Amino acid sequence: MKLSKLYSNLPDKFSPIIFNDELNFIYGEIRHPENKTKDTHNLGKTTLARLLDFMFLAKRHKEQFLFKNQEIFNEFIFFLEIKLSKNEYLTIKRSVENNTKIGFYLHNSSNQDYRTLPEDSWHELPSFDKAKTYLDGKLNFTAIKSWQYRQLIGYLIRTQDDFYQVFQLKKYRGKDIDWKPYMADLLGFNGELAKQRYQVTKQIDDLELKIKEQNVSDDKKASEELSRVDGRLLIRKNELYKLKEFVENFNFREVDKQTIEDLVSEIDDQIITLNMREYSLKNSIYHIEQSFSENKIKFNPKEVKELFDEVNILFPEQIKKDFEQLIEFNQAITQERNTYLRQELKENKIELSNIQIQLLQLNEQRAKQLEFLKESELVVKFREANQEISLIQAEILDFERQKENIQKVLELKKEQRDLQLSLNNIRNKMEDDLANINNSEDSLFSQIRIYFNEIIHKVLNKEGVLFVALNENSGNFEFRAEYQESGQNTNESLGNTYRKFLCIAFDLAISRAYFNKNFPKFIYIDGVFDGLDDRKKDLLLEVLREYSNLGIQIIATTINSEVIGLTSPITEQEIVLTLHDDGQDGRLFKIPTW
């Protein structure tokens, strides 16, 4: 796969770029002397790399220039034409506004213009992820199995920020699992083993977190702690059994019998006697009060005489007189009797009141006696036993929870040990794989090493060495690229220029080693000559031409001040885009700077 053409729907603001199959230069001219000491990224050399990454379906990111300044670029629609094989091309359509809506169009010839192609002619997928899967299938980079094309693109299109490390791109800083397994596969090692090791290590770390979540005081002595908890649990369960047995067999009849007898014979008898007397008094009071209303004499002699006169019967005066005397006698007797009854009534009421007071007092005494009954020694033990049962049951629940947690810890630790065995097994396989690849002169890694060293030696007259080993502590892959002289490492790789050159040499060596495989046939190098002296630039240009003549498409950016001293200047055919600092027409985007 190579790049063929990049264009937009606004050619007056972004001119089409047609790429050669071999060497391509994005050439920047500094026409104003005062700009020579300034950063010239505003021309668009690095921006082009980011735009190409966008067209290879990089996810939207707020720091990406298109979205950081979306109000400027929202109207743009870009088209990237790529060469899949000799007579097969694919054009990718992507807009800034609807950046997840991707269009694809397959065709048989290069340098096409599909800006006006009808919408229904484009092959569009229902989602952004499906679009990436479709593109991955069309690119068909089978040389690196198990990895999607996006993993490769970052190394093929490095920006200035990605030249800090040979093997690790900026976006992978701190995420070894995201790049080390891929790098292992890229260099010909078993990257799947590296991936498995990271996954198993993460599982072990996750188990360690779960162990801490169990809140076991000393998880390192979990087995000992489990035995201790089992012992305490056994004792508490035995105590609970005995207490429950005591409660279940408890006999209230044995509780303070003398107190019960006293209660029945003294208080209850008194209450019964007083209740009987209270009833008698109430009955007596009732009858006395009734007698007051019944003792009135209803016989009237005057009324009897009038009755006799009406029927013409003689009613002698003597009889009338006798009756009146009798009534007066009865009234006198009744009055005297009532005097005694009222006295009796008063006395009865007083006695009744006293009895009621005594009954109240006796009932209170009875209640106290019952309280005393409740507080007897055996009852206290009964009540305390029930309370103790509750406490022991709570303790047992706590011990069982502790036991459950400890058992969980022991299970998790067993899982850890099993995983650790698996981890050790993976490491053994990685060590075997590492030894076999390093010792094989025909391995892919050996080829990459040779090409890498050839580039370093030709340009810098030094040895370039690639190292792959396992970290002694973590057991993970470690990758290093160094300069050597007489077999000894130098410190030159610590400088920006020489560190960047290690990246360039590595990417070129990878492209050459994979040239005959289903692997991308292009590489983008931003600022290819930056910081090198003239002789080394000449030598590097020779390497670039050599590799492009082999069939590797190289897209490199530079500025005129970096190539002035070249003995074999860049040709017009090699320059596919010229940028300059003389107004906005010289920039990649012919619009005001942002």
Of 202 and 341, which is predicted with more confidence?
A: 202
Beta-sheet strand order (sheet of 522-525): 522-525, 553-559, 23-29, 575-580
Write out pLDDT tens, residues 143-153: 987 889 999 99
In this prediction, residues 333-352 reach a mean pLDDT of 82
Rounded CA-CA distance 493/460 in Å is 12
Token pair of 503, please? Answer: 């990246």
Of 55, 69, 76, nearest in space to 11 by CA? 76
- Bridge partners, 93 (sequence order): 79, 103
**Could you write out the three-class secondary structure of 166-183?**
CCCCHHHCCCHHHHHHHH
pTM: 0.71
Residue 40 has pLDDT above 80, yes or no: no
Look at residue 412 in the predicted model and tell me its pLDDT.
87
What is the residue whose two structure tokens read 């020489």?
A: 498
Rounded CA-CA distance 191/183 in Å is 7
Question: Considering the chain, what is the average pLDDT of its residues?
Answer: 85
Those residues with Cβ within 8 angstroms of residue 63's Cβ, 6 or more apart along the chain or in another chain? none
- Bridge partners, 482 (sequence order): 465
Please count the CA atoms within 13 angstroms of the CA of 103 that sit on its side-chain side: 20
Look at residue 96 in the predicted model and tell me its pLDDT.
96
Look at residue 239 in the predicted model and tell me its pLDDT.
80
**Cα maximum dimension of the chain:** 185
Look at residue 376 in the predicted model and tell me its pLDDT.
56
The phi, psi pair for 5, rounded to 5°, reads -160, 145
Look at residue 441 in the predicted model and tell me its pLDDT.
92
Look at residue 371 in the predicted model and tell me its pLDDT.
65
Is residue 244 within 8 Å of 332, Cβ to Cβ? no
Token pair of 361, please? Answer: 């007092």
Query: pLDDT over 70 for what percent of the chain?
Result: 83
Residue 111 has pLDDT above 90, yes or no: yes
Token pair of 364, please? Answer: 């209170």
Is residue 76 within 8 Å of 95, Cβ to Cβ? yes
Of 56, 84, 55, 51, nearest in space to 66 by CA? 51
Write out pLDDT tens, residues 520-561: 999 999 999 998 999 999 999 999 999 999 999 999 999 998
Residue 123 has pLDDT above 90, yes or no: yes
Look at residue 268 in the predicted model and tell me its pLDDT.
73
Write out pLDDT tens, residues 45-97: 889 999 999 999 999 988 889 999 899 999 999 999 999 998 999 999 999 99
Of these ranges, 218-222, 224-228, 329-333, 492-496, the one predicted with the greatest mean pLDDT is 224-228
Residue 495 has pLDDT above 60, yes or no: yes
Look at residue 494 in the predicted model and tell me its pLDDT.
63
Q: What is the distance of C-alpha 396 from the center of its chain?
A: 34
